[in-house]
A and B are shown apart, each in its own frame.
Chain A
């Protein structure tokens, strides 16, 4: 008995240590690309690519020796001795001592393997400003003509915020109304219409997008906010999600109101909606993130720079700055940060939404 009590905590400790080890290994793998993105975004162009890769941006330290810029190096095996590399010759490097002060100015030749170049951490925050103001993405006449000329990412941000807010509001509003009808009202054809909604969830998005694209281009409505927002405002998925939640609200809560003669709208507005805040928050988070990150639809209906949202704006930026990885990474960080913040705030609802739609479907 005693022995068991002693060994069990040990086993549990080992197991949980192994658990943490595995979890951390995966966690680091997940974070590495993000870390690499941030790391590169802070490097200067000439040190963006180096072998072996360097995680913390650092650049060689240089000094001025007789009007020439020379790299500074430590001497291996002689602590405290620092030299400036003046030139290279077949025998090694010609160096001039700069520290300790007592020996400063001494010149000698050292084999290269005895020199370790000194580097200093240097973070180029100005990359972010440069990406934000990039010449390749200057925009004129954006946002209903209100913005005459602006930095690309400012306009992409405004477009993304405007489009995502409209889409999210539209989805939550129309879905909650329809979900109420499907969950609480009796009308002929209700169940067949609902099954029709469900059936379309299986249809590949491109099947729907192509005819809508054709319609919009016939009406000369590509390159408008209407094209970006309107087709995305009606979500069969959102209707389904909310209907499932409304069904789970006990009807007894409404009975008193019904006896008092409350209209369906009053029941929707004053009973169902206040009780459904978690589900509405879930749908809001889903709809917002989906719209914010959407790539294909904006790509199809918009090619004017002034109307681009962040994802296709970033794609455009990538076209103009293909090889300037420090700027590409800075731009990617600029695009990603707000959505990560939204996610961290709405995380709880997001996770709940996945489970709700996945399990009851």
Chain B
């Protein structure tokens, strides 16, 4: 029973509250301190730093602090999101930012494919067949493998050099394709290559396991009743499975969009496979932020970009909550 702590603060209740707090502190403190120092304050600091220009130079005293960390107001955001007029045309101040935002969104086109694939796999796995655990384990392997190792082997699979044909193009040529694409070397094909690789990695992963759990939670009687009424398998899928899975779908879509905007797997891929190229065609927002912060030491600008990413994630989640929730059927 939760005690009414907000009732009239007599000395007795106040001391009880203090005692309760004292009792909880030893449990709470190790985690709470760490949480404050390494999660909560950094979030505030990120917003603060985004209003500054800070070059990461070592700071020994207050004078150096004011030299290296200058308050610039919203300048970073103006440079990042603003436009200017260049010989009559409107041009973005940071055209690369918009391009890399576009890359990030383009790469997110793989998400619906990946979710559909996961659902299909889960439906396959939900049959009463022997050895299903083995298949589930195999499908999950890419998810637990080191992303670096995965990226290295896929680089080898996509490999294409004069007189050297990688595994994928070898297969494509053997089925009659004369000139298979130079996957990682061409601006047209680098992004599709990334999507293929990400699909392979994600399809049997978390989303599939979540869908499988969702499927196993649907009561068998519903299907039996529908079968008695003469519903075919498509009708059952459309009118029982799909609506009853909608909470799972909602969760999966939300998490995938959040993860897709951050794109940590594709960051690894871009970092190790292409360096963000050719000509920036695989540079994502994450890689751009990383470059500004770590390679170019412009922390103010990098944190401003991180804030924009945060707002994007937040906005997507909010829209999803407000409008996506309506489509969810809670059985």
Q: Could you say which residues of chain A place their CB within 8 Å of the CB of B261?
A: 204
Q: Which listed residue, A19, A24, A208, touches B38 by the CB 8 Å rule?
A: A208
Please choose the segment from B40-48, B79-87, B94-102, B185-193 that sits at the chain A interface, where 4 or more of its residues have CB less than 8 A away.
B40-48
B20 in contact with A26 (CB, 8 Å): no
Q: What is the predominant secondary structure among interface residues of chain B facing chain A? A: helix
B154 interface residue per 8 A CB criterion: yes
A214 in contact with B5 (CB, 8 Å): no
224-281 of chain A: CB within 8 A of chain B: 230-231, 233-234, 236, 239, 264-265, 268
Contact with A along B156-184 (1 / 0, CB 8 A): 11010000111100110110000000000
Bound-state CA distance A120–B148 (Å) is: 32
Q: Which listed residue, B39, B152, B170, touches A236 by the CB 8 Å rule?
A: B39
Q: Which listed residue, B23, B40, B141, B251, touches A30 by the CB 8 Å rule?
A: B141
A361 in contact with B251 (CB, 8 Å): yes
Known: A27-B135, A185-B24, A264-B27. A335 touches B43 (CB 8 A): no
Please choose the segment from A64-72, A75-83, A136-144, A351-359 that sits at the chain B interface, where 4 or more of its residues have CB less than 8 A away.
A351-359
B58 in contact with A234 (CB, 8 Å): no
Contact with B along A280-308 (1 / 0, CB 8 A): 00000000010011011001100000000
259-308 of chain B: CB within 8 A of chain A: 261-262, 264, 267-268, 271-272, 286, 289-290, 293-294, 299, 302-303, 306-307
Bound-state CA distance A315–B155 (Å) is: 13
A325 interface residue per 8 A CB criterion: yes
Smallest CB–CB gap between A219 and chain B, Å? Answer: 10
A359 in contact with B43 (CB, 8 Å): no
A207 in contact with B310 (CB, 8 Å): yes
Contact with B along A205-227 (1 / 0, CB 8 A): 11111111111011010000000
A310 interface residue per 8 A CB criterion: yes
B267 in contact with A193 (CB, 8 Å): no
B153 in contact with A33 (CB, 8 Å): yes
B146 in contact with A293 (CB, 8 Å): yes
A315 in contact with B272 (CB, 8 Å): yes
Known: A175-B31, A187-B21, A318-B272. A212 touches B38 (CB 8 A): yes
Contact with A along B179-212 (1 / 0, CB 8 A): 0000000000000000000001000101001100
Bound-state CA distance A187–B138 (Å) is: 46
B240 interface residue per 8 A CB criterion: no
A210 in contact with B299 (CB, 8 Å): yes
Chain B residue at minimal CB-CB distance from A217: B56
Chain B residue at minimal CB-CB distance from A232: B38
Please classify how large the interface on chain A is, using the bins under 10, 10 to 19, 20 to 34, 35 or more: 35 or more
Q: Could you say which residues of chain A place their CB within 8 Å of the CB of B204?
A: 26, 30
Known: A178-B30, A200-B40, A211-B45. A310 touches B264 (CB 8 A): no
B314 interface residue per 8 A CB criterion: yes
Smallest CB–CB gap between B166 and chain A, Å? Answer: 8
B147 interface residue per 8 A CB criterion: yes
Q: Could you say which residues of chain A place their CB within 8 Å of the CB of B141?
A: 30-31, 34, 340, 343
Contact with B along A299-341 (1 / 0, CB 8 A): 1100000000011101100100000010011001101100110
A33 in contact with B146 (CB, 8 Å): no
Known: A329-B153, A336-B146. A206 touches B27 (CB 8 A): no
Bound-state CA distance A185–B161 (Å) is: 64
Count of A-B contacts judged by CB separation below 8 Å: 277
A197 interface residue per 8 A CB criterion: yes
Bound-state CA distance A181–B20 (Å) is: 10
B62 interface residue per 8 A CB criterion: no
Chain B residue at minimal CB-CB distance from A212: B42
B152 in contact with A332 (CB, 8 Å): yes
B306 in contact with A188 (CB, 8 Å): no
Q: Which listed residue, A36, A310, A344, touches B156 by the CB 8 Å rule?
A: A36
A202 in contact with B258 (CB, 8 Å): yes
Q: Which of A31, A174, A206 has the most CB of B within 10 A?
A: A206
B27 in contact with A185 (CB, 8 Å): yes
Bound-state CA distance A168–B200 (Å) is: 28
A102 interface residue per 8 A CB criterion: no
Chain A residue at minimal CB-CB distance from B165: A51
A166 interface residue per 8 A CB criterion: no
A53 in contact with B167 (CB, 8 Å): yes
A1 interface residue per 8 A CB criterion: no
Q: Could you say which residues of chain A place their CB within 8 Å of the CB of B30?
A: 173-174, 177-178, 234
Q: Which listed residue, A27, A236, A292, A310, touches B138 by the CB 8 Å rule?
A: A27
Known: A202-B313, A214-B54. A335 touches B149 (CB 8 A): yes
B77 interface residue per 8 A CB criterion: no
Known: A23-B125, A300-B294. A347 touches B138 (CB 8 A): no
Bound-state CA distance A285–B309 (Å) is: 30
B61 interface residue per 8 A CB criterion: no
B142 interface residue per 8 A CB criterion: yes
B213 interface residue per 8 A CB criterion: yes
Bound-state CA distance A354–B35 (Å) is: 23
Q: Could you say which residues of chain B place their CB within 8 Å of the CB of A209?
A: 42
A329 in contact with B156 (CB, 8 Å): yes
Smallest CB–CB gap between A325 and chain B, Å? Answer: 5
B137 in contact with A347 (CB, 8 Å): yes
Q: Could you say which residues of chain A place their CB within 8 Å of the CB of B45?
A: 211, 214-215
Smallest CB–CB gap between B221 and chain A, Å? Answer: 20
A180 interface residue per 8 A CB criterion: yes
B200 in contact with A30 (CB, 8 Å): yes
A29 interface residue per 8 A CB criterion: yes
Q: Which of B28, B121, B125, B148 has the most CB of A within 10 A?
A: B148
A186 interface residue per 8 A CB criterion: yes
Smallest CB–CB gap between B229 and chain A, Å? Answer: 19
A193 in contact with B32 (CB, 8 Å): yes
Q: Could you say which residues of chain B place their CB within 8 Å of the CB of A206?
A: 262, 286, 289-290, 306, 309
A37 in contact with B153 (CB, 8 Å): yes
B12 interface residue per 8 A CB criterion: no
A52 interface residue per 8 A CB criterion: yes
Bound-state CA distance A344–B136 (Å) is: 11
10 contacts across the A-B interface (CB closer than 8 A): A49-B159, A178-B32, A187-B17, A187-B21, A206-B290, A210-B302, A217-B58, A239-B31, A332-B149, A354-B209
**Which 4 residue pairs across A and B have the least CB separation, nearest first?**
A234-B34, A178-B31, A211-B45, A181-B27
**A-B contacts besides A52-B174, A268-B27, 7 pairs, CB < 8 Å:** A23-B135, A36-B156, A174-B31, A178-B32, A202-B258, A206-B289, A343-B141
